[in-house]
Amino acid sequence: MTYENVLVPTDGSGGVQESVTQALDIAERAGATIHALYVVDDRLRQRVASAAWPSDDLRVEGEQAVASIEGAADRAGLNAASEVRHGTPADEILAYVAEHDVDLVVMGTHGRTGPERAVLGSTTERVLRHADVPVLVVRATEHST
């Protein structure tokens, strides 16, 4: 199968690096464009008092995370696109896939640790179950989380 658009969803954690490495390798071999997506998880707002909701901080974190992936793609000589969205991560990832003709999604088994880990693990599972394109799930090693 030939890939033209490879999506790497990121949460900005170290656990994503292995997924990025795999996605870059695949894109380089296929001459594909790398797409980096960060979703500010609005479900977390329900857990935090509205006055303390760090939406702007999370957006900045997201912009830095996707910029890092774009930089890696640029160093590899690949075209890259990125976006930061707000919403439910799995829903936004699936919407991005449809909107940008993504051929392959490359994502980790989990990213962050603690309570956020369960949310991200379920995100990967939901994308895997509902995507209309192949999803490569990269197991994060112990040292990368």
DSSP per residue over 23-57, as a string?
Answer: HHHHHHHHTPEEEEEEEEEGGGGGGS-GGG--HHH
Residue in the structure block whose two tokens are 């993504």? 102
pLDDT at 139: 84
Whether 64 is covered by a domain: the verdict is yes
Whether 98 is covered by a domain: the verdict is no
21-35: per-residue pLDDT in tens?
Answer: 999 999 999 999 999
Q: pTM of the prediction?
A: 0.85
Whether 39 is covered by a domain: the verdict is yes
Whether 9 is covered by a domain: the verdict is yes
Q: Region 12-41: what's the mean pLDDT? A: 94
Which residues pair with residue 106 across a beta bridge?
136
Whether 51 is covered by a domain: the verdict is yes
Q: Region 91-112: what's the mean pLDDT? A: 90
Domain that holds residue 29: 1-89+133-140
Whether 121 is covered by a domain: the verdict is no
Whether 120 is covered by a domain: the verdict is no
The CATH number for 21's domain is: 3.40.50.620
pLDDT at 145: 44
Whether 127 is covered by a domain: the verdict is no
Total of domains in the chain: 1
Evaluate if residue 119 carries a pLDDT over 50: no
